[in-house]
Amino acid sequence: MEKFRSALAGFVLLLLLPSASRVEAQQPEIYFADVPVHVGTLDPVVRKNYLLQNLYYQYQYVPWEYTNYAKNHYNRYTRVELEGETWYDVFGSYITRGFGIYSWSQTQPQAFGSDVFKRQQYSSWFNRLVVASDVKGQYHMALTIGDQIRTTLTPLTFSKPAFSGIQWDFLSDKYQLTALASRVSSPGFTALYVEQKEGQTLTSLVNLFGGRGTVQVGDFAKAGFTYVNSQINRTDLPFTGKGLTEGQLSSEQNRDLIRWIAIRISDDSPEDHIGGGRLFSEKIFFRRQGQPQAREDVRPLIEGGFRRGGALAAGGGEHILLTYTLPEPETIREIEFELVLSNDYLVEVTSNLQEPFFLPVAQARGNVTDGSNQTVIRFDYGLPTAHEVAGLTLEVTDVLGFRLLGEYDVSRRHRKTPSPNFLAHVNSVTQSDAWYGNLNWLQYPYFAQGEVFSIEPEYQTKMFITNEIGVINYDSPSLHLFEFVDDNEDGDRTPDWVRRFSERDSDGIFPGWDENNDFRPDINRNTNKIPDYEEPFLRYSVDPPEFLFGIDMNNNTIIDRYEDDELPDYPYKVDHHGYNMYIGAEIVPDVRFMVGRSREELWSDDKRARTSYALFTVDRIYPQFGRLRFFERIKQVKDNLPDNVLQWVQRRGSFGQDRVSFQDPLVAQDTWVN
């Protein structure tokens, strides 16, 4: 049987180790002949002796002993460091005695070959967090195993407030290195009783491996590389190197033949009721052996849409549905489609193996309505099997007053065509990019900052995960979606959204509403059913939300630091690209003036925001009079780009934990704001 032991996902064992000298003293004596008889124990008495002969010289034989613990208190029979099982290495040499607190192994090919075991002491003794570390000179190393580890690689690749798995870290004067590993579909449960020695075993599962390394380049620069991969594994199949990056179809994904496929073409911007997707022609290709061959005889059942200019169009809430019934599906290895489309289209696909949920495969850029973007798109049908994100970072500090931070990442989503008649399945990849750069400059009293960014609409950091029997419900993110980057605007220990094996955000604190970090909303300190700004006396120290002041860069009338959403906490929004820059000076201490300009657009729609602004601030303390704070802002705005958010609302009769959707009123489409 072929056995696979990965360096990270192989076998992880943590022991309660005594000191080296004590290990030597505790090593049991090994006899190569019969155990000898101690002469002193040969006492010719009728009284039965219960004491072991090897303890005779220390305790002697006594008939009985009265136990009184008033002075010498009762102690455990065995010291804690001597408890547990005896452990040996692969050569049979004695190591120590201790408990196997945590182990993770994967054996292929073998049914139920993935095993994660957490002994009861993992929870009762260590509270689900174990740290082992070592240091020598400039070299530091730590191994952390836990159910809620705050882990961040970069904000566009991996950032979670409660990562469940293994994190290994290394640090020296020049290098930093981090490695992550977890069985994210089911990280394992703590044993229910002490004697339990079997973990949770699975056949279809989803693993995650990742890491980040940085190197100091000279005195001012640091370069880094990040890689994160999450893939579906099946332990009943032989291990292949491609399985670590491309993944494998789960047993349920590959349970049946593809008998029909449906393609849905709709308007990517249905709210404007103009344009919409237009379909000119379609074609299907099958590959049984060799290259894919077009099948002109396989025609789809076409539903929906309307004829316009020699094409089939779908605008507003309309959609075109193409349903293909596949002939002889048992011999098909690959299925490819070719569509000729124009205008503002969105293409999604489903089949009998994923109904009724549609997965997106293509999307038009902008909001074209004149047909000038007519194009041919080709894509393979497949089910998601893996998702990998790789990226580079560069940090430059204090070079002639400049500071630079940049990141570039590539997201690759793998799909495979299901067929239980084939062991190897055709893999297809969809790739998207994200990047940003921030540049700061300071030469007192002058300062400046610039930022440019671009995140394509297809950029994602999430992976569908299986349940215990390999099933994926694509329309259930709370149970079947693992996020590389969590939504956590309030910065606490739990994500703001609900995902599998994650705890709910019980404190209910909304971003910006707990400035003093007492876990109570600042506008409802007494946590009753009435906001403080509507209560007698309390209202004098609490302002209602409409009077709160701050920066509103996206012009949606909500102060930026009070905004919340249900999106990953990327530094910039998906589907957005643009820039922002300003320059200023500190005229006198604590008095600043700055001017700037920003431009932001959508990749997938004809929406943009252009803003020119000026700010003047004063924040000075006068010992004789007190503190003076003054803020003046004026900006010229042309903004038709909606930024919808969630808003915290204190309704009368409630405890103030209502999060309601707020639609951007777009009040600054061409105006001045002061």
Confidence of residue 540 (pLDDT cuts 50, 70, 90): low
Q: Are residues 506 and 652 in the same domain?
A: yes
Q: What is the dihedral of CA 341, 347, 351, 355, to 10 degrees?
A: -150
- Asked, for residue 215, whether it belongs to a domain, the answer is no
Lowest-pLDDT range of 162-176, 507-521, 576-590, 621-635: 507-521
Q: Is 67 exposed, middle or buried (0-12, 13-18, 19+ CB in 10 A)?
A: exposed
Q: Is 407 exposed, middle or buried (0-12, 13-18, 19+ CB in 10 A)?
A: buried
The larger pLDDT score, comparing residue 557 to residue 84, is at 557
Confidence of residue 61 (pLDDT cuts 50, 70, 90): low
- Asked, for residue 20, whether it belongs to a domain, the answer is no
What sign does the CA torsion over 348, 351, 356, 357 have?
negative
The larger pLDDT score, comparing residue 53 to residue 150, is at 150
- When pLDDT is averaged across residues 109-119 and rounded to a whole number, the result is 93
- Tell me the HSE value of 646 on the side-chain side, using a 13 A CA sphere: 17
Q: Is 203 exposed, middle or buried (0-12, 13-18, 19+ CB in 10 A)?
A: buried
Q: pLDDT above 70 covers what percent of the chain? A: 86
Residue 72 gets which letter from DSSP? S
pLDDT 10s digits, 250-301: 999 999 999 999 999 999 888 887 878 999 999 999 988 878 888 989 999 9
C-alpha span between 667 and 673 (Å, rounded)? 10
Asked whether residue 99 carries a pLDDT value surpassing 80, the answer given is: yes
The larger pLDDT score, comparing residue 365 to residue 534, is at 365
Q: How far is CA 282 from each of CA 132, 264, 312, rounded to the nearest angstrom? A: 59, 12, 11
Residue 330 — φ and ψ, nearest 5°? -70, -15
The larger pLDDT score, comparing residue 648 to residue 269, is at 269
- The pLDDT score that the predictor gives to residue 546 is 73
pLDDT 10s digits, 611-634: 999 999 999 999 888 999 999 999
* Strand order through the sheet with 102-106: 102-106, 114-118, 200-202
- Asked, for residue 609, whether it belongs to a domain, the answer is yes
pLDDT 10s digits, 364-387: 998 898 889 999 999 999 999 999
C-alpha span between 266 and 320 (Å, rounded)? 6
C-alpha span between 263 and 321 (Å, rounded)? 6
Task: Give me the domain span that covers residue 347.
Answer: 260-381
Which of 381, 416, 437 lies at the terminal end of a domain, its last residue?
A: 381
Q: Are residues 507 and 377 in the same domain?
A: no
Q: Residue 585: which of 444, 465, 418 has the closest Cα?
A: 444
pLDDT 10s digits, 544-572: 777 778 899 999 998 888 888 889 999 99
pLDDT 10s digits, 469-502: 899 999 999 999 999 999 988 788 888 888 888 7
C-alpha span between 613 and 431 (Å, rounded)? 36
- The pLDDT score that the predictor gives to residue 57 is 66
**DSSP annotation string for 52-65:** -GGGHHHH---S--
C-alpha span between 580 and 585 (Å, rounded)? 17
C-alpha span between 206 and 204 (Å, rounded)? 7
- The pLDDT score that the predictor gives to residue 206 is 96
Cis peptide bond prior to 18, omega within 30° of 0:
no
Cis peptide bond prior to 589, omega within 30° of 0:
no
C-alpha span between 105 and 109 (Å, rounded)? 13
C-alpha span between 462 and 472 (Å, rounded)? 14
As for how many domains the chain has, the answer is 3
- Asked, for residue 386, whether it belongs to a domain, the answer is no
- When pLDDT is averaged across residues 44-70 and rounded to a whole number, the result is 72
Q: Which residues pair with 436 in a beta bridge?
A: 407, 453
**DSSP annotation string for 537-595:** TGGGG---GGG-----TT-SSS-GGG-B-SS---SS-TTEEEEEEEEEEEEETTEEEEE
Q: Residue 641: which of 672, 597, 610 has the closest Cα?
A: 610
- The pLDDT score that the predictor gives to residue 660 is 82
The larger pLDDT score, comparing residue 536 to residue 73, is at 73
- The pLDDT score that the predictor gives to residue 63 is 65
- Asked, for residue 351, whether it belongs to a domain, the answer is yes
Asked whether residue 537 carries a pLDDT value surpassing 90, the answer given is: no
Residue 271, classed as helix, strand or coil, is helix
Confidence of residue 77 (pLDDT cuts 50, 70, 90): low
Asked whether residue 593 carries a pLDDT value surpassing 70, the answer given is: yes
Q: pLDDT above 90 covers what percent of the chain? A: 59
- When pLDDT is averaged across residues 604-610 and rounded to a whole number, the result is 93
pLDDT 10s digits, 437-469: 999 999 999 999 999 999 999 999 999 999 988
Round the average pLDDT of the chain to a whole number and report it.
86
- When pLDDT is averaged across residues 541-545 and rounded to a whole number, the result is 76
- The pLDDT score that the predictor gives to residue 82 is 62
Cβ atoms 416, 380 nearer than 8 A: no
- When pLDDT is averaged across residues 22-37 and rounded to a whole number, the result is 47
Residue 475, classed as helix, strand or coil, is coil
Cis peptide bond prior to 356, omega within 30° of 0:
yes
Length of the chain: 674
Q: Residue 449: which of 392, 399, 401 has the closest Cα?
A: 401
**DSSP annotation string for 334-397:** EEEEEEEEEESEEEEEEETTTTT--EEEEE-SS---SSTT-EEEEEE--EEEEEEEEEEEEEEE
- Asked, for residue 377, whether it belongs to a domain, the answer is yes
- Asked, for residue 9, whether it belongs to a domain, the answer is no
Q: What is the dihedral of CA 623, 625, 627, 628, to 10 degrees?
A: -130
Q: Are residues 650 and 505 in the same domain?
A: yes
Q: Residue 451: which of 552, 571, 593 has the closest Cα?
A: 571
Cβ atoms 376, 340 nearer than 8 A: yes
Asked whether residue 588 carries a pLDDT value surpassing 80, the answer given is: yes
Instruction: Please name the amino acid found at residue 99.
Output: F
- When pLDDT is averaged across residues 197-215 and rounded to a whole number, the result is 93
Asked whether residue 26 carries a pLDDT value surpassing 80, the answer given is: no
- Asked, for residue 10, whether it belongs to a domain, the answer is no
Which of 354, 381, 408 lies at the terminal end of a domain, its last residue?
A: 381
Confidence of residue 75 (pLDDT cuts 50, 70, 90): confident
- The pLDDT score that the predictor gives to residue 50 is 66
Which of 381, 400, 429 lies at the terminal end of a domain, its last residue?
A: 381
Lowest-pLDDT range of 5-9, 223-227, 326-330: 5-9
Asked whether residue 21 carries a pLDDT value surpassing 50, the answer given is: no
C-alpha span between 668 and 555 (Å, rounded)? 7
Asked whether residue 508 carries a pLDDT value surpassing 60, the answer given is: no
- The pLDDT score that the predictor gives to residue 166 is 97
Element (H, E) at 25: helix 20-26
pLDDT 10s digits, 219-245: 999 999 999 999 999 999 999 888 889
C-alpha span between 51 and 204 (Å, rounded)? 53
C-alpha span between 539 and 532 (Å, rounded)? 6
- The pLDDT score that the predictor gives to residue 291 is 81
Give the CA diameter of the chain.
115
- The pLDDT score that the predictor gives to residue 456 is 96
Lowest-pLDDT range of 10-19, 124-133, 353-362: 10-19
Q: How far is CA 101 from each of CA 93, 113, 137, 141, 200, rounded to the nearest angstrom? A: 21, 19, 29, 20, 14
